[in-house]
Amino acid sequence: MQSEPSPASGAKAGAPIELDLHGDVAGLAAALINIESVSGNERVLADAVEAALRAIPWLAVHRDGDAIVARTGLGRKERVVLAGHLDTVPLPTAAGARGTVPISWEGEILYGRGATDMKGGVAVQLALAATLEDPNRDITFIFYDHEEVAAPKSGLGRLLRNSPEMLAGDFAILLEPTNGTVEGGCNGTTRYAVNTHGVAAHSARAWMGTNAIHGAARVLQVLSDYEPRTVAVDGLDYRESLNAVRINGGIAGNVIPDACEVEVNYRFAPDKDIQGADEHVLGLFEGFDVVRTDGAGGARPGLQHPAAASFVAAVGREPKPKFGWTDVARFSELGIPAVNFGPGDPLLAHSDDEHVSRAAIHESLDALRRWLGGESTTSRSAGIAQ
């Protein structure tokens, strides 16, 4: 199934930027970073990715907005999905920040916005797409927009709504940064507004009112006393957390506030769904006015699936849990076991000095090549100039 992209306002005129998918994969990552793609501005990069993929004869290419899907059709017994997002968070504004655009090299370290999250992983996807003509599994490559913003804008979510068949597979790998270690599943996340109510009064006659901000002290005490759990799910230990992330109350410096809101974020293990998360949080804040404002379920590790087990063996490292939420949860909702795996330290994502090593990108590419039946790039990558 193929479709042509619809025109978009703000897109740059002219031919797409050409990407070299056959050279050094770290150099390809650098080229991707240099095409600035802050969320909402992915069109130029999406055009370049689409053009490069359409030049590969063994792939069928589909586009939906700024999301591109490329699929092999070899009739293999198993299909794996390799997915990654094209967008980045905004560029850093601090003076001297190196994790920006354009890129810079420091020895074998690549600095630039998205180097970790996740242009290194996207480069690995593209290199595999261009060179694995006869893999041992059919492969679906997904490149999507709007991952770093509110979930309703997600390009992967849009593909799921418009063309769910494009996401079909037996196993999925999201190439988010994991330091080259398989991270199974992910925690879920919910946010709640915990409201306290009072009576407004002039602050000079405070005894006439009831201070809602003071009432929030009881909310904060619950959070302070809370002991987060570590939950074992299918052999991986997921750490939970419950924290106040924002507080808002008061209208003026001479008014006793009659309302206060504490925003609470609960990161919960994938042994429970959103309903289970609600029951846990509402039980903690029994008697308070609590409203859930957002929520996304987690994903179980899925490491018992034969494809997952063979991939873990190919990587050769002990798998770990993913504590943050990622789009593996969307695949889990479809009944597709999914893991996170990609180059770069996730702790560097979105930082002012975001960076990834050339070796890390090659190691991730080689692990996937071994698993998918391709040859290692190690010998070819040795001695490549920056």
**Looking at the structure, do residues 210 and 270 belong to the same domain, yes or no?**
yes
18 lies in some domain: no
Mean pLDDT of the chain: 92
Instruction: Tell me what pLDDT residue 5 has.
Output: 36
Q: Which among 50, 217, 56, 43 is positioned nearest to 145, based on CA atoms? A: 43
Q: What is the pLDDT of residues 324-363, one digit of tens each?
A: 899 999 999 899 999 999 999 999 999 999 999 999 999 9
**Looking at the structure, do residues 63 and 168 belong to the same domain, yes or no?**
yes
Active site residue 354: no
**Looking at the structure, do residues 46 and 165 belong to the same domain, yes or no?**
yes
Give me the mean pLDDT over the 364-379 stretch. Answer: 79
**Looking at the structure, do residues 94 and 66 belong to the same domain, yes or no?**
yes
Task: Write the CB contacts of 105 (distance below 8 Å, at least 6 apart in sequence).
Answer: 30, 111, 386
- pTM: predicted TM-score of the whole model, two decimal places: 0.86
Instruction: Tell me what pLDDT residue 7 has.
Output: 34
Could you give the count of Cα atoms lying within 13 Å of 222 in the half-sphere of its Cβ? Answer: 19
Instruction: Tell me what pLDDT residue 379 has.
Output: 39
Instruction: Tell me what pLDDT residue 108 has.
Output: 97
14 lies in some domain: no
**Looking at the structure, do residues 62 and 48 belong to the same domain, yes or no?**
yes
Specify the CATH number for the domain of residue 377. Answer: 3.40.630.10
Neighbours of 358 (CB within 10 A): 23
Residues spanned by the domain of 310: 25-185+299-381
Give me the mean pLDDT over the 379-384 stretch. Answer: 40
**Looking at the structure, do residues 313 and 369 belong to the same domain, yes or no?**
yes
**299 within 8 A of 270, measured Cβ to Cβ:** yes
Instruction: Tell me what pLDDT residue 167 has.
Output: 95
Give me the mean pLDDT over the 63-72 stretch. Answer: 98
325 lies in some domain: yes
Give the three-class secondary structure for 165.
helix
pLDDT bracket for residue 15 (50, 70, 90): confident
**Looking at the structure, do residues 59 and 82 belong to the same domain, yes or no?**
yes
94 lies in some domain: yes
**90 within 8 A of 149, measured Cβ to Cβ:** no
**Looking at the structure, do residues 31 and 113 belong to the same domain, yes or no?**
yes
Q: Which of 264, 280, 296 is the last residue of a domain?
A: 296
289 lies in some domain: yes
- Sign, CA dihedral 242-248-253-258, equals negative
Give me the mean pLDDT over the 359-383 stretch. Answer: 77
Instruction: Tell me what pLDDT residue 191 has.
Output: 96
> Which of 87, 148, 183, 327 is the catalytic position?
87
**Looking at the structure, do residues 49 and 145 belong to the same domain, yes or no?**
yes
Q: What is the pLDDT of residues 95-154, one digit of tens each?
A: 989 999 999 999 999 999 999 999 999 999 999 999 999 999 999 999 999 999 988 899
**For residue 9, is pLDDT > 60?**
no
Instruction: Tell me what pLDDT residue 151 has.
Output: 84
**For residue 290, is pLDDT > 70?**
yes
Specify the CATH number for the domain of residue 234. Answer: 3.30.70.360
Q: Which of 296, 312, 346 is the last residue of a domain?
A: 296
**Looking at the structure, do residues 157 and 283 belong to the same domain, yes or no?**
no
**For residue 73, is pLDDT > 60?**
yes
Give me the mean pLDDT over the 1-29 stretch. Answer: 68
Q: What are phi and psi of 293, to 5 degrees?
A: -105, -15
pLDDT bracket for residue 12 (50, 70, 90): very low
What's the domain count of the chain? Answer: 2
DSSP string, 5-63: PPP-TTPPPSSPPP--SSS-HHHHHHHHHHS--BTT--HHHHHHHHHHHHT-TT-EEEE
Active site residue 50: no
**Looking at the structure, do residues 116 and 40 belong to the same domain, yes or no?**
yes
What percentage of the chain exceeds 70 in pLDDT?
Answer: 93
17 lies in some domain: no
Measured in whole angstroms, the distance separating CA 123 from the mean position of its chain's CA atoms is: 16
Q: Which of 279, 296, 313 is the last residue of a domain?
A: 296
> Which of 47, 138, 145, 147 is the catalytic position?
147
Instruction: Tell me what pLDDT residue 152 has.
Output: 87
Cα 76 to Cα 74: distance, rounded to the nearest angstrom:
6
**338 within 8 A of 173, measured Cβ to Cβ:** yes
